[in-house]
Amino acid sequence: MNRLLLTIYKRLYTRLGPQKWWPASTPFEVSVGAILTQNTAWANVEKAVDNLRKKRLLSPKSLSKVQTARIAKLIKSSGYYNIKAERLKNFLTFINENFGGDFDKLIEAETGILRKGLLGIKGIGPETADSMLLYAANKPVFVIDAYTRRILLRHGIIKEDAAYDEIQRLFMSNLPRQPRLFNEFHALIVRACKEYCSKKRPKCRICPLNKIRKGRGMGEVC
């Protein structure tokens, strides 16, 4: 499995090159984006983040002072804005209560303890928490999302009912635990899935992962 995953990584990197993720100016901005990107396209998140930036609200201290209703208006483009504004407030409460409002202290926390704390925040699930850990805190935690699941299914590497933790262990048990590797690998998977592995019309013949598979995949396989 180690060999298979590394082959996938090398093929994607050779074809697509470095992805330079996550597109943000600060680790806190990454975390805000991770919450806002739930169930929406990244272009919509960028508009919301830009609104917060223009109002100079991209810090725990400044955003904590703003009422939830105002945050909701500023992030409206991200969709489900009232819910996401509440989630941002929940996240800010976590930072203030556990790290005295200091985001630098948060990202310095031990990985397991921090992950458990993030998952205890209402509205933050494994994918969002792990995105914060990897892209904001530079922790060696692999992010699993719908794109990762789709590509692995198409190549017969996982079963359709595979749980989040099971898929995550697949990467973390078979690859060097290096944040830079996990960052690039996940970003490449997302890019490849968007370009070649659509739900309805996968472009298997031109996909860099053509003919890479383990067993029989789900649906149309390469």
Where are the domains positioned within the chain?
2-19+143-206, 27-136
Report, as an integer, the average pLDDT of 64-74: 98
Residue 218's pLDDT band (cuts 50, 70, 90): very low
By residue count, the chain amounts to 222
CATH topology of 2-19+143-206 equal to that of 27-136?
no
Q: What percent of the chain is predicted at pLDDT more than 70?
A: 95
Contacts of 134 (CB under 8 A, 6+ apart): 140, 141, 142, 143, 179, 182, 183, 186
Residue 214: per-residue pLDDT:
61
Nearest 10 degrees: Cα torsion 152, 158, 41, 48: -120
Across 59-63, 75-79, 80-84, 197-201, least confident range: 197-201
pLDDT digits (tens, 9 = 90+) for 126-163: 999 999 999 999 999 999 999 999 999 999 999 999 99
pTM: 0.93
pLDDT digits (tens, 9 = 90+) for 30-47: 999 999 999 999 999 999
Residue 203: per-residue pLDDT:
93
Dihedral of CA 106/33/150/148: which sign? Answer: negative
Residue 19 above 60 pLDDT? yes
| CA–CA distance, 216 with 222 (Å, rounded to integer) | 10
Residue 112: per-residue pLDDT:
97
With residues binned 3-state (H G I as helix, E B as strand, rest as coil), the percentages for the chain, rounded to 5, are 60, 0, 40
Give the CA angle between residues 199, 201, 207 to the nearest 5°. Answer: 95
What CATH class has 2-19+143-206? Answer: mainly alpha
| Among candidate residues 201, 122, 174, the one with its CA nearest the CA of residue 9 | 174
Architecture of the domain delimited by 27-136: Orthogonal Bundle (1.10)
Report, as an integer, the average pLDDT of 47-69: 97
Give the CA angle between residues 165, 167, 172 to the nearest 5°. Answer: 85
Report, as an integer, the average pLDDT of 107-122: 98
